[in-house]
Structure 1
Amino acid sequence: MLVVPADRCSRLLADNGSSGRASQERIVAPHERGRFCALAATSREGILELCTPLETADRKIEAVYFLESGLASVVAKTSGKEEAEVVIIGFEGMNGSALIMGYDQANFDCYIQSTSEASRIATGPFLAALEDSHTLRPFLLRYVQYFHVQTSYTAAINARQSLEVRLARTALSATGLL
């Protein structure tokens, strides 16, 4: 079950520097913090088990998940039941990039690859926050650009490199070193 802790907003805005991740204090502009806290209040935290679907191709995206640990895979179906992983989402990422760009359906399947902690925000409140905030969409579009670059390099390496190189890259990606 997903629950909202009482200190959700203050914890997200805290700058303790202990996680090694970019601080929300620097990400969220001071005049946007109220909107950010309102959005955070709509989120639900929880544990996502192996193979939990986050998105299904050609269906509306129901929620955005911000991973706090674990991994998710975005996979393209090549034919029938064959799948090819096109990108890994880790603690730095989220699903739902189509929503940021104004499209409400998933192009690919996305599911959990290892037990993960995540914050879930339903599509409605997420889209409202994108419309209400002057800084949220531009910030998240930078993530979409990163996501696009990561996907492009994955495709290039999968097409041109040996199995050993591909496995090494996947291992590094999974540990957050790449």
Structure 2
Amino acid sequence: MNINFNNLSDNFLLSLLSSDEQATISSAVKLVPVNIGDIICESEAKLEYVYFPISGMFLLLYILENGGSAEISDIGKEGFVGVPILLGGETMPHQVIIQGSGEAFRMPVYHLTKLFTQSISFRNILLHYMQALMTQISQTAVCNSHQKLIKDFADGFSFH
């Protein structure tokens, strides 16, 4: 499938690139459907592709030893899935599952790392996104902790 610039602009990060960079990226991505419940990557599995969603929702889950899970973050058309690759990792520390059906641009990891090293603007865009994602994850952790404190406090007033 030929990817045109209009399609690439459906992902916020890719929309920030120049037309020359979008032309380079368009040959490295494939538009793929994603469906609710699809597991894109298991925890600790080697990542072969990264994803730039244009619709739908990707969910990062931390899998607990007891088999439970905790939501780390959700990623939509404002971001991409595959941050650990840019931090020197080869595996995804979380399970990635589709929470809302849609489409995404799938890019092989080797293309991402090549473009990340060759394009200063692409690198800067992704670094800013990673900073925003880390802030979002931190805020989620604080909110979850705060909610547990409120629940524990409320449980102390329960009459059994």
Mapped pair 1:158 → 2:158: no
User: What's the CA shift string for 1:138-168, capped at 9, x where partnerless?
Assistant: 2101101111111111111111127xxxxxx
SS at match of 2:99: strand
CA gap 1:123/1:52 in 2 versus in 1, 3 angstroms = same
2:5 to 1, 5, 10: 10
Amino acid at match of 2:50: V
TM-score, normalising length: structure 1: 0.74
Aligned equivalents of 2:110 and 2:37: distance in 1? 24
Cα distance, 1:23 vs structure 2: 8.0
C-alpha RMSD over aligned residues: 2.1
Cα distance, 1:94 vs structure 2: 1.1
Aligned equivalent of 1:45: 31
Q: How does 1:21-60 map to 2 (within 5 A)?
A: 24=15, 27-29=16-18, 33-60=19-46
2:114 to 128, 143, 154: 128
Amino acid at match of 2:73: V
Aligned equivalents of 1:144 and 1:74: distance in 2? 14
Among all aligned residue pairs of Structure 1 and Structure 2, give the percentage whose two residues are the same amino acid.
22
Cα distance, 1:70 vs structure 2: 1.2
Cα distance, 1:49 vs structure 2: 1.0
TM-score, normalising length: structure 2: 0.81
SS at match of 2:72: strand
How many correspondences in the alignment? Answer: 147
CA gap 1:48/1:22 in 2 versus in 1, 3 angstroms = closer
Aligned equivalents of 1:98 and 1:35: distance in 2? 22
Amino acid at match of 1:127: T
Cα distance, 1:10 vs structure 2: 2.9
Aligned equivalent of 1:172: none
Flag structure 1 segments of 5+ consecutive residues without an equivalent.
Answer: 163-178
Aligned equivalent of 1:79: 65
SS at match of 2:33: strand
Aligned equivalents of 1:154 and 1:9: distance in 2? 35
Aligned equivalents of 2:73 and 2:99: distance in 1? 12
Aligned equivalents of 1:140 and 1:10: distance in 2? 19
Flag structure 2 segments of 5+ consecutive residues without an equivalent.
Answer: 149-160
Q: Quick check: which has more Rg, 1 or 2?
A: 2
